């Protein structure tokens, strides 16, 4: 029997009629379809209508690139408006990681075109690995015209390479005033963790020392940017707009270029420092430190060989010895001893018979000569150790410390430069705190001649002796005129570089006259230790200091040598009372203080002659010995008129 034809279609009943779906199921299916359509329509509406602006911005980002316009730093001038630090136009190469599919594949070509070793590029990439991907990575500064041409010729192959016009620092050559001015460099990771650099980004250029660091926020300026239309290969097609950069503010320093040049020349080939101050105001007229460094090397293309040479130099070229060298002051400290002795009423009637030294507490302390009868009037020009041994023993360490501290020793002066050192002024409390030991009376004897535990910096000594010669009035040293910055910025500088500040100590007119006349005899009388440095027609006063770097026993075991010679100090001024300039000289291993006196005389002579010529309406123009700009397009320049300061 054949099957019924209707049995193969279950939707049909035995009579051939279609079976209908229940109405409830049909309505449910319709609701589901309608809901799905509603969801799709809503999604499309959100994407195409509500999200239109967002996607339009994303689309614009694919074709518009914000190119930064770096603000040039403010220039730096001396007190008379003569240029010390300038800028020059340069081109740098950056890598845009967003434009690169695989940077590693392009490294060989980039290395050849930019003349950078592959391992150096890889090190740069690792350094910026944690930085946001949109942040450009600086590959090379001061690129050559050939390297610029390479980048332009390979736009399609290397869309990740971009050039940027920048202004780079141009410093004086041969390290002229390098420690004072400082240098700029890329902000470090450690600095970025400091709240002071909260608004800086990796790769930003900031001041790293000297004036550049202290006044970075003033010199820095505000960067701008321009919107550039680019294609998928990063090629520039046009401009949409531009926000101009705001240059940094220029700064006028208190430095006198003529005095600075005299200091640099005097210190050439030596290890040490010279600092010149105007005691009336605290203005720093000159500050030189040797050995020095070339800040131009740091600001653009510091090489490993140059850096290693600095690190391996035992004389520490990066140290600003004018504010950081902490050494025994030798006999220059006798001026502070004289203040203490006279103000305490001890030194006026003290008489000593110097027979080449004296014994205290069972030990003989030598003097370099047999001076015979010595009093306060000839003890300073003689620089008689025996007199000041005796004075120290009578005063005691705490009385000496009281006057030394009042004159700014063992504390920062507050000069507006980073990393100033404090020095040390020993006392009973100091030794108990530092060594957990009592002070012994015998230790006071060496302190009386500026030896033992006492240490000072050249700027401390210049300020202290200049303050004494000014009748006890001391001012905070500074290298930038206060009116060059806003009151808020000036207050921030004073808070950051706190020190003893402006102060006045009691100093009777009689004692002031005794001390200043005695200092004038140091250079102006044949009995003075610095008579060989006297200046005809100039009221030149001062005090020498010869500070041993090791004991006599250690010296005899060492076998001698240049590094065993004493440090030579001198602090000089003109005129002797209420001086217009005070000069402190530290010549490490310079042997005798009168050697440093000759260096100070050169600076004093340059200052006085300039003032006299100016009074006669005769003015010699000086120019800072700026370095020659690198030979790059639009960056070459003729050398300046003056020879290098080292000559």
Q: Which of 289, 300, 331, 446 is catalytic?
A: 331
ω into residue 470 within 30 of 0, thus cis? no
| CA angle (223 as vertex; 220, 229 as ends), nearest 5 | 160
Query: Rounded to the nearest 5°, which phi and psi values hold at 610?
Result: -65, -45
Q: Which of 109-123, 198-212, 448-462, 562-576 has the highest mean pLDDT?
A: 448-462
Instruction: Provide the pLDDT for residue 138.
Output: 84
pLDDT for 280: 97
Task: Give the pair of three-digit tokens for residue 571.
Answer: 């602090």
Provide the residue ranges of all domains of the chain, joining segments of one domain with +.
64-252, 257-614
331 is annotated as an active-site residue: yes
Burial class (CB in 10 A: 0-12, 13-18, 19+), 466: buried
- Which of 63-67, 122-126, 232-236 shows the lowest per-residue confidence on average (mean pLDDT)? 232-236
The tens digit of pLDDT for each residue in 584-640 reads 999 999 999 999 999 999 999 999 999 999 888 555 557 777 776 655 333 333 333
The pTM assigned to this predicted structure is: 0.82
Nearest CA to 517 among 487, 480, 542, 550? 542
User: What is the homologous superfamily of the domain 64-252 according to CATH?
Assistant: Penicillin-binding protein 2a (Domain 2) (3.90.1310.10)
Of 70-79, 196-205, 321-330, 349-358, minimum mean pLDDT range:
196-205
**How far is residue 213's CA from residue 298's CA, in Å, rounded to a whole number?**
14
Q: What is the pLDDT of residue 33?
A: 82
Taking the C-alpha atoms of residue 68 and residue 203, their distance in angstroms, rounded to an integer, is 13
DSSP for 313-368, please give it. Answer: -TT-TTS-HHHH--B--GGGGHHHHHHHHHHTT-STT--EEESSEEEETTEEEE-S
Going by pLDDT thresholds of 50, 70 and 90, the confidence category of residue 535 is very high
Q: What pLDDT, on the 0 to 100 scale, is given for residue 549?
A: 77
The pairing of strands 581-587 and 272-278 is antiparallel
Domain 257-614 has CATH 3.40.710.10: yes
Mean per-residue pLDDT over the chain, rounded: 86
Checking if the pLDDT of 333 tops 80, the result is yes
CA distance 272 to 287: 11
Name the band, by pLDDT with cuts 50, 70 and 90, for residue 141. confident
Q: Do domains 64-252 and 257-614 have the same CATH topology?
A: no
Cβ contacts of 502 within 8 Å, gap of 6 or more: 282, 474, 475, 476
- Reported as a pLDDT band with limits 50, 70 and 90, residue 553 is low
pLDDT of amino acid 235: 63
For residue 97, CA distances in Å to 159, 363, 634 come to 9, 74, 29
Pairing of β 251-252 and β 76-77: parallel
């Amino acid at each position: 029997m054949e099957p019924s034809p209707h049995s193969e279609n279950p939707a049909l009943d035995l009579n051939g009629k279609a079976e209908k779906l229940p109405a409830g199921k049909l309505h449910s299916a319709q609701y589901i379809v309608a809901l799905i359509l509603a969801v799709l329509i809503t999604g499309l509406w959100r994407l195409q209508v509500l999200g239109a602006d967002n996607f339009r911005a994303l689309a614009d980002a694919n074709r518009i690139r914000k190119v930064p316009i770096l603000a040039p730093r403010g220039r730096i001038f001396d007190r008379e408006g003569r240029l010390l630090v300038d800028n020059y136009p340069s081109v740098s190469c950056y890598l845009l990681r967003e434009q690169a599919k695989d940077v590693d594949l392009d490294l060989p070509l980039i290395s050849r075109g930019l003349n950078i070793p592959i391992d150096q590029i890889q090190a740069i990439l690792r350094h910026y690995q944690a930085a946001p991907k949109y942040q450009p990575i600086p590959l090379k500064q001061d690129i050559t015209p050939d390297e610029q041409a390479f980048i332009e010729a390979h736009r399609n192959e290397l869309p990740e390479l971009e050039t940027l016009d920048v202004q780079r620092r141009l410093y004086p050559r041969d390290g002229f005033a390098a420690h004072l001015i400082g240098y700029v460099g890329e902000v470090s990771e450690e600095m970025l963790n400091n709240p002071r650099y909260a608004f800086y980004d990796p790769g930003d250029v900031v001041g790293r020392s000297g004036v550049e660091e202290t006044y970075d926020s003033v010199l820095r300026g505000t960067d701008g940017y321009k919107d550039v239309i680019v294609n998928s290969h990063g090629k520039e097609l046009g401009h949409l707009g531009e926000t101009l950069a705001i240059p940094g503010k220029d700064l006028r320093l208190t430095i006198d270029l003529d005095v600075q040049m005299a200091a640099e020349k005097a210190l050439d080939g030596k290890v040490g420092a010279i600092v010149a101050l105007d005691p009336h105001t605290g203005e720093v007229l000159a500050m030189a430190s040797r050995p020095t460094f070339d800040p131009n090397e740091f600001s653009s293309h510091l090489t490993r060989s140059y850096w290693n040479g600095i690190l391996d130099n035992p004389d520490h070229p990066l140290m600003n010895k004018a504010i950081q060298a902490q050494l025994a002051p030798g006999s220059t400290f006798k001026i502070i001893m004289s203040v203490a002795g006279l103000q305490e009423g001890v030194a006026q009637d003290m008489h000593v018979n110097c027979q080449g030294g004296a014994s205290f507490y069972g030990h003989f302390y030598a003097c370099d000569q047999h001076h015979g009868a010595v009093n306060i009037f000839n003890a300073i020009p003689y620089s008689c150790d025996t007199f000041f041994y005796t004075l120290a023993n009578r005063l005691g360490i705490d009385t000496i410390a009281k006057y030394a501290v009042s004159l700014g020793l063992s504390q920062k002066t507050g000069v507006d430069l980073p990393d100033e050192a404090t020095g040390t002024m020993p006392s009973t409390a100091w030794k108990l705190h530092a060594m957990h030991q009592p002070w012994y009376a015998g230790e006071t004897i060496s302190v009386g001649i500026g030896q033992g535990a006492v240490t000072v910096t050249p700027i401390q000594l210049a300020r202290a002796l200049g303050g004494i010669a000014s009748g006890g009035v001391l001012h905070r040293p500074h290298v930038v005129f206060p009116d060059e910055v806003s009151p808020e910025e000036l207050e921030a500088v004073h808070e950051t570089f706190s020190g003893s500040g402006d102060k006045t100590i009691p100093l009777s007119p009689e004692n002031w006259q005794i001390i200043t006349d005695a200092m004038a005899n140091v250079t102006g009388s044949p009995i003075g230790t610095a008579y060989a440095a006297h200046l005809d027609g100039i009221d030149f006063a001062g005090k020498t200091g010869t500070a041993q770097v090791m004991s006599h026993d250690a010296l005899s075991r060492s076998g001698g040598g240049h590094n065993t010679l004493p440090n030579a100090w001198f602090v000089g001024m003109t005129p002797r009372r209420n001086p217009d300039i005070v000069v402190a000289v530290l010549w490490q291993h310079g042997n005798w203080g009168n050697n440093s006196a000759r260096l100070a005389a050169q600076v004093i002579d340059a200052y006085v002659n300039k003032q006299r010529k100016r009074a006669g309406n005769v003015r010699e123009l000086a120019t800072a010995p700026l370095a020659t700009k690198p030979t790059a397009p639009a960056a070459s320049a003729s050398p300046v008129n003056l020879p290098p300061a080292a000559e």
